[in-house]
Chains A and B, each alone.
Chain A
Amino acid sequence: MRTLTATLATMLLALPLLAQTEIQTTIDPTKATNVLRIAIPAPEVTGATFDSVNGPLFKPLTRDISMSGIFAIAPLPPNVAITPEVLQRINAQLLLKLAVRTEGEDFVVEARMTDTTGQTQFGKRYRGPAAALTRLAHMLASDLVRSLNGKPGPFLSQIGFASDRDGHWEIWLMDWDGGNQRAITHHGALSILPSWSPDNERMVYTSFARGTSDMYIINRRGGGRIRVATGLQLNTSATFSPVSNDIAFVGSINGNPDIYVIKDDGSGRRRLTTSGTIESTPEWSPNGRQISFTSGRSGSPQIYVMDAEGANVRRISFDGDWNDDATFSPDGEQIAYTSRVSGRFQIRVSNLTNGETRILAGEGSNEQPTWSPDGKWIAFQSNRSGKWQIYRMRVDGSDIEQLTFNGENKDPDWSKKSE
């Protein structure tokens, strides 16, 4: 009898669970100290089929929650009424119930999270057309994280990148999980290296649309494109200041690439480096007081940090014979950069306080790291598949996931704000 019970229990756990078969919990609850186990039964849907909300709403929601680092999803046995006993058996501390109904063209989603005592910990109603269901899912997941953490999850953030899938390199955007990929530029010419404004509304990038490399700014929805006339050549690696309307970039006069700053209306240009060697790839610290950059002044490309006026230059990277693409973590305490190790580029993370570095190793060449706004993830480009594609991993190098698949894709830049 005891054997039979054990077998039944095993069977129940092993059975594919309704609407949760796609979910892979990425957090190991035994390793995390503050992860809450949450049960999420399939939503009650009225006015539409479950299938019509499963793909656009339920799957991205449960995926976000499972990757939040705050929650671990407790699998529910199928076709069983949710009772406190069931929740106790699966060791769920929280229950998230979703009710979806249609009102005209809109979907209305009610979310209620209760604890084991039945007390509501979170309750919110969302409304939107079918096309907005995925965004609604990311919003709800972000709100759930904030309800427990005080800070939103990264689920509404966007990743800008360059893709050649339509024949030319153009600037594209995607959701944090690789969904909703769409082009925002249509130059029909090499357009690369997008970088977000701090308010998530604009991107600055480089395009060769006029046959020279020029700096452009465009709204996130593809409108309002302007060219910023810098009076210089190159105009690459442009990046918005997090605290002002300054843009740091690489400008060149007579083949001498240096770090410059210019306002987003093209005024107030000033030069920050004066060395005769190559300087490139500026990036602001989160408080806007420092700029990291790459310089060949030591004989090979290495990472340096200076203050935003160009003084107090100090070298950051000492490992690797070619380092580039430095970018500060959102808390300003670490720098991630591309570092060549044994002939291959890898993502290296360096602690600015104690100088310790660690390699987030991977197959192929791995370049151009960019931090998620919550500092828990790094997106990067890798040629491990034989083509350049964009991947995302946790800052400890785990849970690597490929986000792009069409054509070749590179130059990821994660939006600075979570929402």
Chain B
Amino acid sequence: MKKTSKAFAWTLCVVVLGLFAMACPKKPKPVVTPQVVADTAPPVVPEPPKPPVETKVENKDFVQETPIQRETLPADIEELNRYAQSHGYIQDAYFGYDESGLSADAQAALTSSANWLKGDGKGYNLLVEGHCDERGTEQYNLALGDKRANTAKEYLATLGVDGSRIRTVSYGEERPFDPGHDDAAWARNRRAHLVLVGK
């Protein structure tokens, strides 16, 4: 009992001191020069105390720049396409084997693309290339690529991108992105590829 009340008294004391300290924020803190201890060090000559460094706080440090200040997009069209793809502003839609319907992933990719095309990318026209994997036949795949490109175009249009800004072309299996001959390569090659083509 006695031990408890002693501890309580100490605690109270610390709290009071703490409150006192908080109540006096303007009281300058003593400048503490750290004591460097080293076995072989020469005797430490304490530096004379410096005045506290004043940090000038400018307004801009409290403003996040990117969302407000307009992003500078690359002027070169090829560079712009790389930039827009790598930032996810425009995203290709991928298809199943011998399919031209849009999966949930493909819809999400086109939705992101549509948002950018209606926003920062408003000034650009779009070419949608339809591509197929190598496993089919050349002539049928040219038609399949046409269907894929136009499916993507129509979806972008339903999301509010002006259809007159979008052109399509089918390359069938003529221009694979991945030259491989396995499932992963084929999956990458079955796509509607979005290309910005200038204003």
In the complex, A300 Cα to B137 Cα: how many Å? 12
> CB < 8 Å: which of B149, B174, B175 contacts A255?
B149
In the complex, A252 Cα to B169 Cα: how many Å? 11
How many residues does chain A have at the interface if contact means C-beta atoms less than 8 Å apart? 35
Is residue A50 contacting chain B, with contact meaning CB distance below 8 A? Answer: no
Q: Is the CB of A280 within 8 A of B147?
A: no
If the complex has contacts A254-B150, A255-B149, A300-B98, are A237 and B139 also in contact, measured as CB distance less than 8 A? yes
Q: Is the CB of B140 within 8 A of A280?
A: yes
In the complex, A192 Cα to B137 Cα: how many Å? 14
Is residue A177 contacting chain B, with contact meaning CB distance below 8 A? Answer: no
Q: Is the CB of A278 within 8 A of B169?
A: no
Q: Interface digits, A172-216 against B, CB 8 Å rule (1 contact, 0 not)?
A: 000000000000000000101100000000000000100111000
Is residue A233 contacting chain B, with contact meaning CB distance below 8 A? Answer: yes
Q: Is the CB of A236 within 8 A of B149?
A: no
If the complex has contacts A254-B154, A300-B98, are A368 and B146 also in contact, measured as CB distance less than 8 A? no
> CB < 8 Å: which of A254, A279, A322 contacts B136?
A322
Is residue A37 contacting chain B, with contact meaning CB distance below 8 A? Answer: no
Q: Is the CB of A280 within 8 A of B154?
A: no
> CB < 8 Å: which of A169, A213, A368, A411 contacts B170?
A213
Q: Is the CB of B143 within 8 A of A278?
A: yes
Q: Return A115 CB to nearest CB of chain B, in Å.
A: 49
Q: Interface digits, A227-254 against B, CB 8 Å rule (1 contact, 0 not)?
A: 0000001101100000000000010101
Which residues of B lie under 8 Å from residue A345 when comparing CB positions?
Answer: 137
Is residue A143 contacting chain B, with contact meaning CB distance below 8 A? Answer: no
Q: Return B89 CB to nearest CB of chain A, in Å.
A: 23
In the complex, A211 Cα to B127 Cα: how many Å? 10
Q: Is the CB of A324 within 8 A of B137?
A: yes
If the complex has contacts A190-B174, A257-B147, A278-B147, are A367 and B169 also in contact, measured as CB distance less than 8 A? no
In the complex, A61 Cα to B150 Cα: how many Å? 53
Q: Can you name the residue of chain A whose Cβ is closest to the Cβ of B147? A: A255
In the complex, A410 Cα to B142 Cα: how many Å? 15
> CB < 8 Å: which of A212, A255, A294 contacts B150?
A255
In the complex, A116 Cα to B147 Cα: how many Å? 66
Most buried by A among B136, B153, B154, B175: B136
Which residues of B lie under 8 Å from residue A367 when comparing CB positions?
Answer: 137-138
Most buried by B among A255, A281, A322, A410: A255
In the complex, A193 Cα to B98 Cα: how many Å? 21
Q: Is the CB of B149 within 8 A of A338?
A: no
Q: Can you name the residue of chain B whose Cβ is closest to the Cβ of A236? A: B142
Q: Can you name the residue of chain B whose Cβ is closest to the Cβ of A253? A: B150
Q: Is the CB of B146 within 8 A of A255?
A: yes
Is residue B189 contacting chain A, with contact meaning CB distance below 8 A? Answer: no
Q: Interface digits, B116-144 against A, CB 8 Å rule (1 contact, 0 not)?
A: 00000000000100000000111110111
In the complex, A190 Cα to B131 Cα: how many Å? 14
Which residues of B lie under 8 Å from residue A64 when comparing CB positions?
Answer: none
If the complex has contacts A213-B169, A234-B170, A255-B153, are A325 and B139 also in contact, measured as CB distance less than 8 A? yes
Q: Is the CB of B169 within 8 A of A280?
A: no
Is residue A402 contacting chain B, with contact meaning CB distance below 8 A? Answer: no
Which residues of A lie under 8 Å from residue B144 when comparing CB positions?
Answer: 278
Q: Can you name the residue of chain A whose Cβ is closest to the Cβ of B130? A: A255
Q: Is the CB of B137 within 8 A of A213?
A: no
Is residue A54 contacting chain B, with contact meaning CB distance below 8 A? Answer: no
Known: A190-B174, A233-B168, A345-B137. 9 other contacts (CB 8 A): A208-B169, A213-B142, A234-B143, A236-B143, A252-B143, A257-B143, A294-B140, A322-B98, A325-B137
Sort A-B residue pairs by CB-CB distance and give the 10 closest, nearest first: A255-B150, A257-B143, A324-B137, A280-B143, A281-B139, A236-B142, A278-B143, A324-B140, A255-B147, A252-B146
Residues of A within 8 A of B (CB): 169, 190, 192-193, 208, 211-213, 233-234, 236-237, 250, 252, 254-257, 278-281, 294, 296, 300-301, 322, 324-325, 338, 345, 367-368, 410-411
A sample of 21 inter-chain contacts (CB < 8 A) reads A192-B174, A193-B139, A211-B127, A233-B168, A234-B143, A234-B146, A252-B143, A252-B150, A254-B154, A255-B150, A255-B153, A278-B143, A296-B140, A301-B136, A301-B137, A301-B140, A322-B98, A322-B136, A324-B137, A325-B137, A338-B137
Residues of B within 8 A of A (CB): 98, 100, 127, 136-140, 142-144, 146-151, 153-154, 167-171, 174-175
